[in-house]
Amino acid sequence: MTTQQLAQGIRLVEGHGGLAAVEVTTPSASALIYLHGAHVADWTPAGGKPVLWMSTFGVFSDTDPIRGGVPLCFPWFGPNGTDASAPNHGWARLSTWSLVDSRTLDTATGAVATELVFELTQDSVGVPAGFHPFTAHYTVTVGAELGLELSVRNDGATPFAFEEAFHTYFAVGDVTTSTLTGLETFDYTDRSTKPATEGSSLLPLGFTGDEIDRLYPMPEALELSDPANDRIIRAVSQGAAQTVVWNAGRIKAAAIADYGTDEWTETACAETCNVGAHFITLDPGATSTMQVTVTSTTTERNTKTMQRLSKSVVPAIAELPTKAIQFGEGNFLRAFVDWQLQQMNNQGLFQGGVKIVQPIEGGRVASLEEQDNLYTVLLEGLQDGKDVQSHEVITVVTGTVNPYVDNQKYLDLANDDNIEFIFSNTTEAGIAFDDRDRLNDKPQHSFPGKLTALLFERFSLGKKGFQIIPCELIEHNGDKLKESVLATAALWELDAAFVQWVNTDNTFYSSLVDRIVPGYPADRAAELAEEFGYDDQSIVKAEPFLLWVIEGPQSLTESLPLAKAGLNVTVTDDMTPYRERKVFLLNAPHTTMASIARLAGVETVRDVMIDPEFSQFVNAEMYDEIMPVIDLPHDELAAYAESVKERFENRFMHHELASIALNSISKYKSRLLPILVNFHEKVGTFPPRVTLALSALLLTYSGDAAVTVVPVDSDEVLATFHAAYATATATGSNVTADYVEAILSDDSLWGRDLTELPGLVAEVTTGLDNLRTLGARATIALLA
C-alpha cells in the first residue's frame, strides 16, 4: 500500500538491519512492526514502559528470526515434525508480509486505536514454493490495548492442517519477582525434558533460572505480575486452546547466540497457541481465527498512604536464635516450612528462627530484607467443614544470606552452634550433582555443591552435624541429596573422615510435601494492603490444608515437634503408603472426574463436588473402591479422604477438569489401573466407578464425532485409539466390544494385556454403551 493510503500516525521506516518496518504512534500507545515476519517488536502504552521485551543481542536480517517481541509461529510450532532442517517455529516469522490495510478506530472506551492488517499467501517471499494455497491475515491493533488476530483461510481444494502461536515475549523488571497466574492448579506438559514429561503445578509459576518450557491448556486469562515496574500484564485469548510458558533460564540463555546470558531475568513468554494435539484443520474455503488482547495495568501500591511492612508495623517481635537454615526463599517454603515453624513458636514449642540462603543468583532475598524479613501468609479455603480466610505475619526469618554477594557470610553459618536443621526447596532440578563445582568456588553453582562446602566447613570446625530435610518434589529427595553431597565430596577428594562425619553425624530425611500455594495474590494486592493496613510485597496465599510426611528416625518428633503443635506432620520409617495414599485418593479421583464428569458438561473440580450426584459418585469411589486396596489404617485413610474432599471443594481454587484430563491414558495407568487390578484380586469383581472411568476414556478417545469432549494426549496414543475404533467400525458387527477388546489388549498402553482379566472387556463395553446411550449422569445414577 502507498504512503498516501496509510492511516494517520503510521510511518514506514527502516528498522534495525535495514529491515522495513511500520512505526505507529497513537495518543494511547506506540508500536513498531517489521514486515519481516509481521513481527511486532514494540508496544508501549502512553506514559508507560515497553510491554514487549527485545533482546539487545538480536539479529536483524531477512533470513533470521527476531529475538523478542512477538514472533508469529506458523505453520508449525517448535521443530518441524518430519524435516529436521526446516526452521524452528515455521517459516512465517522469516517471510515478508505485506501491509494491506490500516485504519483509525474509535474503541469502546472512546480512545483511538490504529489497526493494521498484514497479509501472507503462498506467493509471498519466504513461503516455500508449492505450499498448500492459503491466505493469512494478521491484524495488529495498537491502542491502550494491544490486539493480535491471525486468521487463516484454506484456499486449496483439500483440508489444510497447521499449528500457530503468538510467541509473546513480555518485558518484566526482574522475572524472579514475577508470578504468572491463571495456571495455578493446571496440569501441563513439560517440554524442557526430552522426551516431554507431564507435570502438575501445585506450586505457583515463578521463574528461578531453570528453563521453564511448559504447555498448558489456555485459561480464561493469564496475568504476569511485574512488581519491579508496578504493573500487571494481562493476556486474554480467543480461539486458542493452549498457552506455552517459556523462560530460557540461565543455561539455555547462555547457549542461545541472540539471547544475552543474563537476559532471562528480563522476560517471560506466555504464548497464545494451537499446537500439538490442538493443531487446526481447515476444510477447503474455511477460515480459523486466533486472537489475543494484551493490557498493562499499573498496580496501586498505596505507597504514599500505606507504610511498607517492617518491624515498626509489627511491634514486639521476639528475638529468636537461628535454629535452621533454609535453602530457598520462594513462596512454597515461606508458606509451608516457615509458617509451620511459626506455629510451633506460637505455642512455645520451638523458640527458633530460620536464616534463608538464596540458592541461585537471581533470587529475591533482598526484597525480603526490605521488609525486615517479615511477610504475610494468607490462608483461604475450607478446613474441617469451615470456611477459612485468615492471615498472619510470619516473624521466624532471622535474616537472609546471599552467597553470590557474600560467600563468607554463608560459610560463617557453619560456626553457629544453635543451628540444627536444614530445609530446602530448590526446584525438582535443584538436587543434582554438578561436576563443575569446586570447593573454592564462591559460591558453588549447585545446591548440593553449596551444601557440601558448608558441611565441610562445619566438619573442619569440629562441630556437630545437621538434620537435613529437603522438600523438593522428587521421590527419595533426602537420599538423592545425600548421594549428591557424597559425589561432590569424592570429586573434591575430601578426607575419608569427612565422608564418615557426613554419614554418621548428619541425618538426611526424605520428605513428601503437600499444600497448594498459589503465591502472590497480584490481583488483590491493593485491596489486601487496605485490609492489613500495610503494603506487603511478599504476601503468600496458600490453602489451609497441609501435609508433611518425613521419612527418618522418630527422634525428630522431639527436636522438631511439628505434630505436637497440631500440624499434619507424620514421621515414619517408610513413606511409600503415604505416597500411594496421595496418588490413589487425590490424583485417582481427579482422573475419574475428568473422564466422566466432563462428558456431562461439568467443568471444574469444585463443580463436581457441589453437584449432588457427582460428589456422591466420587465419595463412593474413594470409600468403597480405593480405600479397601490401600495398606493403611482405615481411620487414617478416612481422615485423609475427608481433607481431600474439602480441598476439592475450595471455592478459592478454579481447577479445570480439562487440565487434569491432559494425558489421561498414562494417568489412568498409574493412578487407577492399580486399584482396578488389586480390587479385582481381593474382591473378585471390578470396582464399578474406576471401571466406568475406563469406559469414559475409551468413549472420549474413540474419535467418534458425536463425542464433543476433546482428549488431549500424545499423537501416538490418539492414533492408537482412533485406529482401533476405525477398524472396529469398518469390520465388526460388535463395534464397541471389538474396539474395547483391541484397546484393552494393547500392552503398549497399559503395560500388560488387560483382556487377561476375565470379564473386563464385557464390563467396559457395557459402561461405554451406557455412557453413549444414556449419558454420563444417567449412567452414574445406575450405580447410586
Query: Which residues bind to ligand BG6, rule: CB under 6 A?
Result: 65, 71, 78, 88-89, 167, 191, 213, 244, 246, 269, 271
**Cβ at position 337, least distance to ligand BG6 in Å:** 32
**Cβ at position 639, least distance to ligand BG6 in Å:** 42
Give the Cα separation of 515 and 724 in Å (integer).
41
Q: At what angle do helices 735-744 and 715-731 cross, to 10 degrees?
A: 140
* Short-list 700, 721, 722, CA closest to 711: 700
**Cβ at position 663, least distance to ligand BG6 in Å:** 18
Task: Specify the residue, 170 or 336, whose C-beta has the smaller distance to ligand BG6.
Answer: 170
Residue 375 C-alpha cell reads as 511477610
Whether residue 612 is preceded by a cis peptide bond, meaning omega within 30 degrees of 0, is: no
Task: Specify the residue, 210 or 763, whose C-beta has the smaller distance to ligand BG6.
Answer: 210
Residue 326 pairs with which residues in a beta bridge?
356, 423
- Residues in CB range of 503: below 8 A, 6 or more apart: none
Give the Cα separation of 9 and 116 in Å (integer).
11
Task: Specify the residue, 188 or 534, whose C-beta has the smaller distance to ligand BG6.
Answer: 188
Q: How many CB atoms are located within 10 Å of the residue 669 CB?
A: 14
The DSSP result for 690-728, as a single string, is HHHHHHHHHHHHT--TT--PPP---HHHHHHHHHHHHHH
Give the Cα separation of 341 and 319 in Å (integer).
14
**Cβ at position 65, least distance to ligand BG6 in Å:** 6
**Cβ at position 89, least distance to ligand BG6 in Å:** 5
Task: Specify the residue, 165 or 744, whose C-beta has the smaller distance to ligand BG6.
Answer: 165
Give the distance, in angstroms, between the CA of residue 487 and the centroid of all CA atoms in the same chain: 31
* Short-list 180, 176, 175, 185, CA closest to 542: 185
**Cβ at position 197, least distance to ligand BG6 in Å:** 14
Q: What are the strands, taking DSSP E only, across 410-471?
A: 421-424, 467-470
**Cβ at position 247, least distance to ligand BG6 in Å:** 10
Residue whose C-alpha cell is 521419612: 551
Give yes or no for a contact between 422 and 354, defined as CB atoms under 8 angstroms apart: no
Give yes or no for a contact between 700 and 725, defined as CB atoms under 8 angstroms apart: no
**The dihedral of CA 644, 649, 653, 657: what is its sign?**
positive
Give the Cα separation of 665 and 438 in Å (integer).
44
Task: Specify the residue, 246 or 332, whose C-beta has the smaller distance to ligand BG6.
Answer: 246
Q: Which residue is nearest to ligand BG6 (CB)?
A: 88
Task: Specify the residue, 89 or 482, whose C-beta has the smaller distance to ligand BG6.
Answer: 89
Question: What are residue 687's phi and psi, to 5 degrees?
Answer: -65, 120
Task: Specify the residue, 168 or 176, whose C-beta has the smaller distance to ligand BG6.
Answer: 168
Give the Cα separation of 672 and 592 in Å (integer).
8
**Cβ at position 445, least distance to ligand BG6 in Å:** 22
**Cβ at position 748, least distance to ligand BG6 in Å:** 27
* Short-list 218, 373, 244, CA closest to 308: 373
Task: Specify the residue, 196 or 486, whose C-beta has the smaller distance to ligand BG6.
Answer: 196
Task: Specify the residue, 191 or 355, whose C-beta has the smaller distance to ligand BG6.
Answer: 191
Task: Specify the residue, 88 or 158, whose C-beta has the smaller distance to ligand BG6.
Answer: 88
**Cβ at position 211, least distance to ligand BG6 in Å:** 8
Task: Specify the residue, 60 or 350, whose C-beta has the smaller distance to ligand BG6.
Answer: 60
**Cβ at position 82, least distance to ligand BG6 in Å:** 18
- Residues in CB range of 40: below 8 A, 6 or more apart: 31, 32, 33, 52, 69, 70, 140, 146, 148
